[in-house]
Amino acid sequence: MSWSSPYGGPVSAAPMTKVDLAYALLRNEIFEGILAPGAVLDQEALASRLGLSTTPIREALRRLESERLVISRSHRDTIVAPVSLELLEHTYAVRLSLDPLAVAFAAAQATEEQLREIERLCVPPTFDDPVADLHANRAMHRAIYVACGNPTLVEILDTLWDRTDRYRLILLRTKQTARSAHREHKSIVRAVVNRDAETAAEAMRQHIAGSLAMIRERARTTG
């Protein structure tokens, strides 16, 4: 059994265990908001719905807890981790440095094939399916980062994106946001394709800062 995640490529190149499958399914449901922040996770109910036993569900929840996506409360139950704007601020503070670094490397080092793939993935949003739009957004960004030629940087960015994608789906579901992001994507891609590392880095920095500002505003008006 194999599973390909929209959040950063294949979860595993090898056949998956039942624990791996439970982990991948639950992780995606948390990111997509199907399992909402604060939701109680009943192991038996999850096992029945996913067609698994409670053992892989329990092990998957332990793995998710190590990623701070779920919280096990002593002698009580397990819940989906609440939204933490403080964690978001800390994560974006790191991304404001690393995302521009990766895109600058990509502009300098990407192969022609990688540049064509980056251009292909810079597609307009559908507006009808926020989850699909988020996946497309992640795929384009990741194609840029993979082209940077630094696997360690890509691995770190994958972890940071996993954290921020969850907030984007919860807080940003407007057509205006999607249109603005696509305009910024085109500017970033154009700079990368032109191998203008400085312009690409600045465009990415503004893109990340703008995303954080919109999330802050959305959290303020809905909170």
* pTM of the complete model: 0.78
For residue 12, the model assigns a pLDDT of: 45
For residue 171, the model assigns a pLDDT of: 56
Amino acid at 202: E
Please give the Cα distance from 170 to 165 (Å, whole number): 9
125-143: buried (b, 16+ CB within 10 Å) or exposed (e) per residue?
Answer: beeeebbebbbbbbbbbbb
For residue 11, the model assigns a pLDDT of: 44
For residue 173, the model assigns a pLDDT of: 64
Amino acid at 10: P
For residue 4, the model assigns a pLDDT of: 42
Helices 151-171 and 18-31 pack at an angle, to 10 degrees, of 50
* Angle at 104 (CA atoms; ends 100, 107), nearest 5 degrees: 140
Domain residues of the chain, as ranges? 4-80, 85-222
For residue 51, the model assigns a pLDDT of: 95
Residues of the chain with pLDDT under 50: 1-13
Give CATH for domain 85-222. 1.20.120.530
Give CATH for domain 4-80. 1.10.10.10
For residue 34, the model assigns a pLDDT of: 87
For residue 120, the model assigns a pLDDT of: 97
For residue 99, the model assigns a pLDDT of: 97
